[in-house]
Chains A and B, each alone.
Chain A
Amino acid sequence: MAAVPDRPLEPAIVAQCHEAYSKMLERYAWAIVRDWSLAADVVQTSFAALSRFGGDVAPEARKSWLFRVTHREAQRVRNRQKPYTYTQTQAQDFVFENCATYEIHPLSRMADQEDIDKLTKRIGKLPTEQQAVLHFRFFENKTFAEIAETMQTPIGTALSRMRIALDRLRSMANEDEETNEER
């Protein structure tokens, strides 16, 4: 197979893209590989690829190009790490590492406590039943089937409460953002 010729992108543009998207891409990669070190490696590889081959990518397409490269690289890394996970049944088709062993990102330790306080306040403003769903899911690690059973509601209702809670949290975040911009 003939080697793909390099189409280098200017380092300054690569740096701009890194500044704008690296954090987002790292979170995206983490969702797939479930390991912050691997996610960082995946993003590094994506930007190396952007630097070498991003020269002919249209500026407006760079973000989606990066997402696609990151997605494929993350899948490749995951399959290399835990190939047996996907040979099992469809019901077990989820990443090996459990949420309970969630690894805190080293950078996230330095995250602004203010953001956490804001989120805590926003959650406190949600109706009780929505808070309950978040509590069961995030802190008790229950599946929605278990939550539905605990709350004696259909699973659709539990999912719906989660969806509405997420919407409301996002709305509240947007409102805070707008308020800050006005100031």
Chain B
Amino acid sequence: MPNAKIDRDDSQSHLEAMLYVLQDPALDRTAFEARLEEDCRLGEILAEAVALFEMTQKMDSWQPGSAASPNATFQSSDPAPSLVPAEPPASTRSGWRWVASLCAIAATLLVVLARWDGFPSRDADAASTQDVVLAWGAMQTDRIHIAMDRESVEWESEWNLASLDSVEEPDVPEWIVLATSDRLDRGLDARDGKGMLQ
């Protein structure tokens, strides 16, 4: 298509073809399709528009007003910064999202660690877990009161730890085992200073 001069009708057809490809509601698609069927040249123009659209889909986004590539020469004599979208580029926004996500995860981990300080981890070896079980065995018949917090209802449970022969099959929820063993070690409720065992 080596015709450098582009007439007005051709220009309008190219715009309409691009609107058709972009599915823009500004175009009456039905009327355009009727013309398409009659005009082979319009079909070619449409194919060109698809080719251009196809290529833009493969391009990285660019910001208006900036050179599109390091070698590009930007020739605008009237830069209009207000036309540039105010928000940062997608990559920057994505970066901030990552930072925010990491901060949230780190904060969550800190809270968990602060509340469960000194507890054996899930990866703790079997011996330390066994210690916990033994501590529980010593108080097998005791009633245990666990104050969840100052305002909450006091939980009262009685557990028969005879079933805790196997670490792999705990009948007692693990978090209760861990919480109580911690308080046994310290002998006091860490928060209100009252004795834990009755």
Contact = CB atoms under 8 A, between A and B. Distances in A.
A128 B76 contact: yes
19 contacts: A24-B44, A28-B50, A108-B54, A108-B58, A111-B54, A111-B55, A115-B55, A120-B60, A127-B77, A128-B65, A128-B79, A128-B84, A129-B78, A135-B61, A135-B85, A143-B24, A166-B14, A170-B6, A171-B6
Contacts, number: 172
Interface residues of A, number: 66
Given A27-B54, A121-B68, A177-B2, A67 B61 contact: no
Interface residues of B, number: 63
Contacts of A177: 1-2
Interface stretch (A1-9, A10-18, A48-56, A99-107): A99-107
Contact of A174 (B2, B23, B77): B2
A93 B32 CA distance: 12
A124 B62 contact: yes
Which 9 residue pairs across A and B have the least CB separation, nearest first? A124-B68, A124-B72, A64-B40, A27-B50, A131-B64, A132-B64, A132-B83, A163-B15, A27-B47
A13 to B, nearest CB: 18
B47 A24 contact: yes
Nearest to B73: A125
Contact of A129 (B29, B51, B83): B83
Nearest to B1: A174
B63 interface: yes
